[in-house]
Structure 1
Amino acid sequence: MTQISRRTFALGTVAATTLAACGNGIGGAGAAVIDSRVDSTLNHMYATYPGTRDLANKASGMLVMPVITQAGLGVGGSFGRGALRIGETTVDYYSAASASAGLQVGGQQFSSVLFFMTPEALTDFRRASGWAVGANVEYALNDTGESLRAETTTSLAPVIAVVFAQAGFRAGATIEGTKYTRIIP
């Protein structure tokens, strides 16, 4: 196993952050822009995976991240901005960020929606100063595009993640290890 120097880590982090900034509104995305992107993302998800509408109707809230950009070359990272919706109303805005190190190369963008299936899961998320995705998240959809119906997913899971609309060259698209932080756009 090779050692990663601080300089290599710093350069990789800067490069990954710069690449991750492309196309997801860093620095210029106000509330109206984020809300517009969230609406478009939800419309695309509902049209492509009709069963997600039922899932949304059963959820206590949804965190919609229209574009998360991942990039890496040895070290990598991801970034995106989105909105927490309860019903049809945006109640907060969040950023999603992660960092990684290891054998990796490439970049990609994807959309994700976290469905908070219990009021407790939603409350825990909103009370946290920074919430990291962990083992309590059930992935309901992968990049093969299989159909999703609310009754076929584990309804007891407190949080269900739907990852879709991947574009780019990188192995896998996950949100595991991503930290979500409340922002003011």
Structure 2
Amino acid sequence: MGPRIRGLLLAAGMIPLLALFAPSVYADSKEKIDAGVSQALERLRGHAPGAGELLEQAVAVLVFPDVVKMGFGVGGEYGEGALLVDGQTQAYYVIAGVSFGLEAGAEYKSEVLLFMTEEALRKFRNSSSWQVGVDGAVVLAKEGAEGAVDTLNTRDAVRGYIFSNRGLIFNLSLDGAKITRIAR
């Protein structure tokens, strides 16, 4: 059996596995998303010194409180979230992506994007499906000297944080993830 057929069989075999371990197939309600957004922002403030100040400076904040990433060779991630302007929910979005490589299992994380300029927010909101790294760059927080969180450059139009219950996650990328508005 050739490598291509083996890959197709592996991908087909993953569908039942993903369905078995995936969260509910029903979309989250507005109330559940909003509650998760509030909790995620509180966790972010606890994990990242200075995040509160950046949240205040941001024109808008896009929060995906529960993003699940799972796979076995071929993986994917999915999460629902909300766009906040002046602390108020303006719209709901989904983030989804596919990855390839040596990965197995599932992990949960939160992702927060801060739109620091009106122009970046306008481009995002006017896009039917916004792809990180194609339609706009997201500069993620990095671990700086002596384990401190590197303060993000004030010129970056869109900044981001990825974190779990244990703290910030520094070695991930959002490149390739698609963000699409959903009706709620």
TM-score, with length taken from structure 2: 0.83
Q: CA deviation at 1:27?
A: 0.9
Q: CA deviation at 1:88?
A: 0.7
Unaligned 5+ runs, structure 1: none
Question: How is 1:1-185 mapped onto 2 (pairs within 5 angstroms)?
Answer: 2-3=3-4, 5-13=7-15, 15-16=17-18, 18-19=20-21, 21-22=22-23, 26-134=25-133, 136-141=137-142, 146-148=147-149, 152-165=151-164, 173-185=172-184
SS at match of 1:5: helix
CA separation of 1:177 and 1:14: change in aligned 2, threshold 3 A: farther
- Report which structure shows greater RCO (CA 8 Å, sep ≥6): 1
Q: CA deviation at 1:156?
A: 1.0
Q: CA deviation at 1:101?
A: 2.3
SS at match of 2:55: helix
**Identity percentage over the alignment?**
32
Query: In the alignment, is the contact (CA less than 8 A) between 2:115 and 2:157 conserved in 1?
Result: yes
CA separation of 1:157 and 1:125: change in aligned 2, threshold 3 A: same
TM-score, with length taken from structure 1: 0.82
AA at the equivalent of 1:112:
E
Instruction: Give the aligned length.
Output: 174
SS at match of 1:44: helix
Query: In the alignment, is the contact (CA less than 8 A) between 1:93 and 1:183 conserved in 2?
Result: yes
- Structural RMSD (CA): 2.5
Q: Please list the CA deviations of residues 124-175 of structure 1 after superposition, one character each: whole Å capped at 9, or x if unmatched.
A: 1111111111172111146xxx5447xx3111111111011167xxxx5432
